[in-house]
Amino acid sequence: MFKEVEKKIESFVRAELAGVHRIDFVHGTLYLTLDKPSDCDFIHKEIRKYYKEFINPEGGVNMYAVGDEFAFDFVPEESEAPVFSDEEYSGKEGMMPDDIDKGIWSEFAEDEMFSNMPDDVDTLLNLEAESKRGK
């Protein structure tokens, strides 16, 4: 079932969104390399609109910058980061209309990204950092 959803999303991105250089799904996360990284908010909005309209009306899409590509996670609506218009998010706690145009990256997004990191990954990152310091 998940592969079917991934294929629908990938087909939509390939057919409808210009400026996407590379598309890859890894463990349910969509990774895109864009010709113009400044188009990321437009791409995010279009993927979210498609996902909510054709796949899961009670879902959402979070976007993260990962090196030179962007990762899109498909999440329940209550787990979605509040980054769209103030009409959609008016009255949400801590959300001000001025905050909406500042992009998607925030301390909240960073905390969320690292809070779900498996212990094995955290241990490997610590070992790598120590080996670079010569320990």
Give pLDDT tens digits for 60-118.
Answer: 999 999 989 999 999 998 889 887 644 444 444 444 444 444 444 545 555 555 555 56
Residue 45's pLDDT band, with cuts at 50, 70 and 90, is very high
Residue 98 vs residue 25, higher pLDDT: 25
Residue 40 sits in the same domain as residue 84:
yes
pTM: 0.61
Residue 126's pLDDT band, with cuts at 50, 70 and 90, is confident
Segments forming the whole domain that contains residue 128: 107-135
Q: How far apart are CA 26 and CA 76, in angstroms?
A: 18
Distance set, CA 94 to CA 58, 76, 79, 91 (Å): 22, 20, 15, 9
Residue 60 sits in the same domain as residue 125:
no
Residue 18 sits in the same domain as residue 38:
yes
Token reading at 55? 């796949």
